[in-house]
Amino acid sequence: MTITREIRLAARPVGQPRLTDFELTTTDVPALQEGQVLVRNTWMSVDPYMRERMDEADSYLPSFPLDTVMDGSAIGEVVASRSPEIPVGATVVHFSGWREYAVLQAAAATVVDPALAPAEAWLGALGTTGLTAYAALIEVAPVREGDVVFVSAAAGAVGSVAGQLARKLGAAKVIGSAGGALKADKLMSDFGYDAAIDYRAGSIAAQLAEAAPDGIDVYVDHVGGDHLVAALDALRSGGRIALVGAIGSYNATEPVAGPSNLFTLAAKDATLRGMLINSYFHLFPEWIGKAAGWLADGSLHTETTVAQGIEQAPQAFLDMMRGANIGKMLVRL
């Protein structure tokens, strides 16, 4: 019998989550049934969308049940198999993270090539993280040659890819926002941004006006709030906004007011379009075909912030939510 450790949601957070909202437990792994595989997880991801799933109401994904193992993206090695499609030794990505061992139906696991990129890249640039940046910039708010592009949370998992991708798609200038001087410097030194806004250093609107005095054409929003207000004011005629996330409001305990300048979209003949990555999985082969080559030749730079061990997963999640990561936040199991 295989023993596994796993993280369960012990209590629903009120506002900012706390470590006491999570519980580390030990349990037996069930015996494999026909058509199933046993995966030893090697890496798991913590992501902002998980905060909404900790609340009782369902969003676009079901709420996490209390006292039950959580889930999320992970990658690992198949150590036992009762499926003819997936052999022992295969590397698979799946959605049963927050545990050391996972029993999966073969259809719930996707075999990937570990020779194409390091295992952790399949949870970052080659996973839904990279795909989000790609879909946002080619379909949701498409970048055109000569555009000025603004990205919030630009040193994070999606933002650090989005800035480089905007440049590859022909943007004339790419502006990112991040919290703190260190991150702002890294945007320009490592992630290909032309200008950086430190939202802790002063008015976002004033800094954006200085970086883009003639306005912006595309905004990739991960934050909402004052970032979205500033972007709406700076948007040029025909501009496009991709509403990817709103991490600034995920811990709110009261209803969050919408931007008071939303109607400027009409005056500017501009668009704001929300996106769920589930709707863009058809782009995965196209994206992986491009991104794997860029990772190999070094023209796509990625970074990870890594916590060690399943017991550190809750703290890694809290750190990610307060912006302590650069690039993708991962837990190595």
pLDDT in tens, 12-33: 999 999 999 999 999 999 999 9
Tell me what pLDDT residue 246 has: 86
How would residue 61 be classed by pLDDT, with cut points 50, 70 and 90? Answer: confident
Half-sphere exposure of 117 (CA within 13 A, CB side): 24
How would residue 223 be classed by pLDDT, with cut points 50, 70 and 90? Answer: very high
Q: Are residues 254 and 314 in the same domain?
A: no
Q: Is the pLDDT of residue 67 over 80?
A: yes
Strand order in the sheet with 148-151: 195-198, 173-178, 148-151, 216-221, 235-243, 271-274
Question: Has residue 297 been placed in a domain?
Answer: no
pTM: 0.94
How would residue 258 be classed by pLDDT, with cut points 50, 70 and 90? Answer: confident
Q: Are residues 68 and 164 in the same domain?
A: no
Q: Are residues 9 and 138 in the same domain?
A: no
Q: Are residues 76 and 27 in the same domain?
A: yes
Percent of all residues in the chain with a pLDDT value above 70, rounded to a whole number: 100
Q: Are residues 151 and 200 in the same domain?
A: yes
DSSP letter for 35, please.
T
Assign residue 318 the CATH number of its domain.
Answer: 3.90.180.10
Tokens 């802790």, residue located: 200
Q: Are residues 141 and 270 in the same domain?
A: yes
Tell me what pLDDT residue 256 has: 75
Question: Has residue 286 been placed in a domain?
Answer: no
Mean per-residue pLDDT of the chain: 96
Q: Are residues 235 and 309 in the same domain?
A: no
Question: Has residue 296 been placed in a domain?
Answer: no
What is the DSSP secondary-structure string of 288-301?
Answer: HHHHHHHHHHTSS-
User: How far, in Å, are 58, 98, 204, 268 from residue 233 at the CA level?
Assistant: 33, 41, 11, 10
What is the DSSP secondary-structure string of 110-165?
Answer: EEE-TTTS-GGGGGTTTSHHHHHHHHIIIIIS---TT-EEEESSTTBHHHHHHHHH
Q: Are residues 9 and 86 in the same domain?
A: yes
Tell me what pLDDT residue 251 has: 78
DSSP letter for 326, please.
S
Structural domain total, the chain = 2
Are the C-beta atoms of 183 and 176 separated by less than 8 Å?
Answer: no
Question: Has residue 85 been placed in a domain?
Answer: yes
How would residue 50 be classed by pLDDT, with cut points 50, 70 and 90? Answer: very high
How would residue 257 be classed by pLDDT, with cut points 50, 70 and 90? Answer: confident
Q: Are residues 203 and 262 in the same domain?
A: yes
Q: Are residues 132 and 274 in the same domain?
A: yes
Q: Are residues 221 and 143 in the same domain?
A: yes
Question: Has residue 143 been placed in a domain?
Answer: yes
Q: Are residues 135 and 66 in the same domain?
A: no
Question: Has residue 283 been placed in a domain?
Answer: no
Question: Has residue 295 been placed in a domain?
Answer: no
CA 21 to chain centre: 22
305-327 pLDDT tens trace: 999 999 999 999 999 999 999 99
Higher pLDDT, 206 or 248: 206
Are the C-beta atoms of 239 and 149 separated by less than 8 Å?
Answer: no
Residue 202 CB partners (closer than 8 Å, separation 6+): none
The residue range of the domain holding 193 is 128-278
Question: Has residue 289 been placed in a domain?
Answer: no
Query: Among 7, 273, 244, 261, which Cα is nearest to 129's?
Result: 244
Tell me what pLDDT residue 143 has: 98
Q: Is the pLDDT of residue 248 over 90?
A: no
Assign residue 195 the CATH number of its domain.
Answer: 3.40.50.720
- What is the C-alpha separation between 244 and 264, in angstroms, rounded? 20
Q: Which amino acid is at 80?
A: A
